[in-house]
Amino acid sequence: MSRPIFASISTAALKHNLKQARHYAPQAKIMAVVKANAYGHGLLAAASALAEVDGFGVVELDEAIALREAGIRQTILLLSGFFSAAELLLISEYRLSIVIHCQEQLESFLCSGLPVRTDVFLKMNTGMNRLGFAPSEFLAAAQRLLDSGQAGNITFMTHFACAEEPGGINEAATLFFKTIGDKNFNKSLANSAALIRYPETHCDWVRPGIILYGASPFQEESAAQLGLLPVMSLQSEIIAIQNVLAGEAVGYGKSFTAEKPMRIGVVACGYADGYPRHAPSGTPIAVDSQRTSTVGRVAMDMLCVDLTGLPSAGIGSRVTLWGEHISVDEVARAASTVSYELLCALARRVKVMVT
């Protein structure tokens, strides 16, 4: 018998969330971001459910090739571009699109002599200071691409540092549009947060990521309020029961001490499964569809929950770590992290069921 923990991936929820993304940006092309194994949901399963999109965004060349070999014919964009000139022949062979974000990439591309034109998303740094040409260098880079004859379609793009904050795109968007002026190129600015809140950033391509998987990019607005459904449900079972007296402690380090008699359930899930070790006592969790909370430290293979108010719960009771009844955003907030990290951290040893 294997451990009872598993993750269920709902393709119906993915399709629903894509529909919501289209609702927010009905005129734009959708670039579904499926990097990092589709945020832990399974690259090919997610791409199959999102088959109606106009393109897919990944970071790893291997993921892009896997999508092509699975029959994906839409645009596949390497969001960080290429990491070495040696990758360019494969990029050309598989008809992939690339981001070019620095002079070194530009020089390598222009010297590559590829046999076919490659579509390029030219990236501008508008304040995040990660990837992208400085605005003062941007149009010169674009002109070099045009003059080379090696680029197919050229799209101007940027990425927002603070799109989830009120007015968080204003300075960056102003800089972007001022820099490009009246240049008539396709444009891609909006991530999930901007897609929802800032229609002026939709332009030609939007790049939804986290909202496709049913989590919110905002602290103050839940996924349910945005009309999104959870795609991943992480579930396990109660495997043991402990009756703890007042004054007794639970778990490693005895970090939790009962103030009254408590009934404690032990769950087959821990940080080796991808659950955050730093989730404190009181993190929300559901047992037999009823909300309760964790108790004590999360261990490698187990964590504990308060069953004091759930007398019908026992060994074998179904536990939802996140999914229905417990949003991944709630767990992330309790653990002082973000839903992106929790979803991406799902461990290989967890069985995944696609429904």
Q: Which of 19, 183, 252, 254 is catalytic?
A: 252
Task: Give the angle 317-327-198 at the CA atoms, nearest 5°.
Answer: 165
d(CA 51, CA 67): 11
340 in active site: no
> Whole-angstrom Cα distance, residue 113 to residue 61?
20
Other Cβ atoms within 10 Å of 84 Cβ, number: 8
How far, rounded to the nearest angstrom, does the alpha carbon of residue 153 sit from its chain's CA centroid? Answer: 27
- The token pair at 17 is 């969330």
Phi, psi of 98 (to 5 degrees): -130, 145
What type of residue sits at position 329? D
Tell me how far apart the alpha carbons of residues 279 and 295 are, in angstroms, rounded to a whole number.
10
Nearest to 276 by CA among 348, 345, 350: 345
3-state secondary structure of 337: coil
Q: Is 191 helix (H, G, I), strand (E, B) or coil?
A: coil
Which residues are within 8 A (CB) of 115 and not within 5 positions of it... i.e. 6 or more apart?
92
Which listed residue (35, 123, 275, 340) is catalytic?
35
- Residue 35 appears among annotated catalytic residues: yes
Beta strands in the chain (DSSP E): 6-9, 29-33, 55-58, 75-78, 97-100, 118-123, 151-157, 186-190, 205-206, 232-244, 249-250, 256-257, 262-267, 284-287, 290-295, 303-306, 318-322, 351-354
Distance CA 78, CA 59 (A): 5
Q: Give the residue numbers annotated as catalytic, written as ranges.
A: 35, 252
